[in-house]
Amino acid sequence: MSRMVTILLLAICLNTITHIEASDFGKLINKISTTVSKIKSQLFEYFHRFRVFFTRHTESTHHLMTARGCGYAVDDEPMIYNKRAKIVSKIKGGDDAIWHTWPWMVALSTNPSQGWSCAGVLVNEDTILTAAHCLLNRTANEIKAIIGVHTILGKLNPLNYYSIKSIYRHPDFENCCKNDLAVIKLKKRVLYGPKINSVCLPFPQEFTVDNDQNLINRTGVIIGWGETSQNALTNFIRSFTLQQADVLIFNNEYCNRAYEKIFDPATEICAGDYEQRTDTMSGDSGGPLLIRQSDGRWFVLGITSYGSAITPNLSPGVYVKLSAYEKWLEPYLKSN
């Protein structure tokens, strides 16, 4: 009997000791986790200060650009936007953009072995718009935003990388191609300056074109680092540098003929070149279709979604019509 009591008491003591050790071990793990989080946060802050110092994008430059408003480059003389596309394979049909002409352009990288996976456009200090299909089966930790770059060499500079806090695909997005819109929120706001600024959104408060009919046959600009032709060597050489090309905004009847029942005029815009010389291609997805307003500011009309640029019977590129998504975008456009 005494033997049974001894065994029982020993079991109780061991259980108590184990409980105490587990409790202490848990506290230790929590303490380590808290310390690591603090160190990571501090290192992130040091990295931010390091970036501010070397890029010279400071609170002062940020204030100056913010006071001026969205849609402006530092050097926005008309001549830098008046480059005419040569009939060669580039964006397709585009030209090398002049350095930092488009300070709202964002490259999205998901694979270290590739230059760019998709593109995006900066619409405020911590918000990027892109195509929802660019973020399929991706988490925020798997994507990096590369901002303030012009050539693929910018990918080699860690100061151009911005961590993603969260991503939001449109809840009604279909694989191809309805509601192909997504929002990316950055962990830390960017500072505006010579290489970075936001583009304007085509909402009634700022945009003076109040009717889609007034956009027909207006000249827009497409930009991107995507494929430039069906030739692999040409693609490698030409997409090294950001490309730009002029396109015409087509009427809905033309777009319906090109895509039959796929095209939705309520939520999409199509644009291109009647002679089929210019268009966006693979890798340009998520990038902007831009138009310049009479006051000199640039507005993003649409986000590159889909098209048929590599087929023999070339069809125009199709872009998500941002004006149709103002209500959905509104809560995401608030800065952190």
Residue 70: is the preceding peptide bond cis (ω within 30°)? no
- Write the CB contacts of 294 (distance below 8 Å, at least 6 apart in sequence): 208
CB 143 within 8 A of CB 135: yes
* Total structural domains within the chain: 3
Element (H, E) at 221: strand 219-224
* Domain identity same for 110 and 150: yes
- Give the count of beta carbons closer than 10 Å to the beta carbon of residue 259: 19
Residues 130-166: tens digit of each pLDDT: 999 999 888 999 899 999 988 877 777 888 899 999 9
Which of 285, 305, 315, 323 does the annotation list as catalytic?
Answer: 285
- Write the CB contacts of 317 (distance below 8 Å, at least 6 apart in sequence): 222, 247, 270, 271, 272, 279, 280, 289, 304, 306, 307, 309
Nearest to 267 by CA among 180, 164, 166, 160: 180
* Domain identity same for 230 and 173: no
* Domain identity same for 173 and 255: no
- Is 57 tagged catalytic? no
* Domain identity same for 174 and 227: no
Which of 57, 62, 100, 133 does the annotation list as catalytic?
Answer: 133
pLDDT by 10s per residue, the chain, length 336: 445 545 554 555 545 444 545 556 667 777 777 777 667 666 655 555 555 555 567 788 888 888 888 998 866 554 444 444 332 333 444 567 777 789 999 999 876 555 457 899 999 999 999 999 999 888 999 899 999 988 877 777 888 899 999 999 999 998 778 999 999 999 999 999 888 999 999 998 888 887 788 899 999 999 988 655 555 555 555 467 888 888 999 999 988 888 888 899 999 999 988 765 544 444 578 999 999 998 899 999 999 998 864 444 557 889 999 999 999 999 999 866
Residue 144, domain extent: 65-76+102-198+328-333
CB 279 within 8 A of CB 93: yes
Residue 47 lies in a domain: yes
Residues 251-288: tens digit of each pLDDT: 999 888 888 888 999 999 999 887 655 444 445 789 99
Q: What gap in Å lies between CA 257 and CA 249, rounded to an integer?
A: 15
- Is 24 tagged catalytic? no
* Domain identity same for 227 and 299: yes
The enclosing domain of 279 has a CATH number of: 2.40.10.10
Q: Model-level pTM?
A: 0.76
Residue 15 lies in a domain: yes
- Is 23 tagged catalytic? no
Q: What gap in Å lies between CA 335 and CA 186, rounded to an integer?
A: 10
